[in-house]
Amino acid sequence: MPLFLVRHGETEFNVLGRFQGQNDSPLTDRGVEQARANAAAIARQITDTSDVHFVSSPLGRTLATSRLLCAAIGIPFENVQTDDRLKEMHYGAWQGMTELEIDQEYPGLWAARDANPDTFVIPGGGESYLHLTRRADDWIADTRPDWESDQVWIVVSHGGTGSVLRGRYLDMTTAELRRLARPHACVYEFHNGQIIEHVTD
C-alpha cells in the first residue's frame, strides 16, 4: 500500500521568508486551506481509514497540519504518532532569520554552505545536509518494510526533510534533492519505487 507524504501548511514565517528550522510559527489561513486540500486528495486515494498509520514530525506546525488532516479524513488525532527524525533541519543560530539577515550577520557563510551543503554545519547547534540525510535514511530503513504491508501510511513533515525523504527514496544526490520543489499544496504518493505527485493548489 502507498505512503502519502505532505508538507505542513504555509506558516507566517514562510510568508516572511524566515527560516523556521526547529522553531515554529502559526499556520496562515492559506496554510489551513492547503492542509484541508491535501486531506481531500488523500481521501480520494484511500477507501478504508481504519488501517492507517499516521506519523508526524513533533513540531507545532506539523502537528497543527496533522490535526486538520485527521479531521478532514476521519482519523482520530490521538492515533497520530510522532518521530523526531521527521523534524526539519536545525538551522542553529539562523533560525528565525531571512537569507539577507544571515548574509549580513554571517558574511560569506551562506555561500560556504551552498558550496558544501553535505559537510557545512550551520553555526549555533545547527545541522548539515549529511546530518539530515542520516536522519532520513534511518527513518526509511526502520519503516520501509512496513510500507509493503496492507496498511496505508500518512506522513507529515517539512520542506527540507520532505525533499530529503523524496530524494533518498529515488536515490538522488544532495545536489539533486536540493533542487526539488517544496510546495505546501501537494501530496506525494510513494509506491513501488516511484513517487506520484497529487497537486492540490
Fill in the amino acid letter for 111: A
Which residues of the chain are under the pLDDT cut of 50?
A: none
Question: Whose grid coordinates read 533560525?
Answer: 95
Contact present, 105 and 94 (Cβ < 8 Å): no
What pLDDT was estimated at residue 148? Answer: 76
pLDDT at 109: 98
Cα–Cα distance, 171 to 157 (Å, whole number): 19
How is domain 3-91+127-199 classified at the CATH fold level? Rossmann fold (3.40.50)
**What does the block give as the cell for 88?**
526539519
The confidence score (pLDDT) of residue 192 equals 87
The residues carrying an active-site annotation are 8, 88
- Identify the DSSP state of 97: -
pLDDT at 55: 98
Tell me what pLDDT residue 1 has: 76
Report domain extents, the chain.
Answer: 3-91+127-199
Secondary structure letter of residue 6 according to DSSP: E
How many angstroms separate the CA atoms of 147 and 58, rounded?
21
Identity at 153, one-letter amino acid code = W
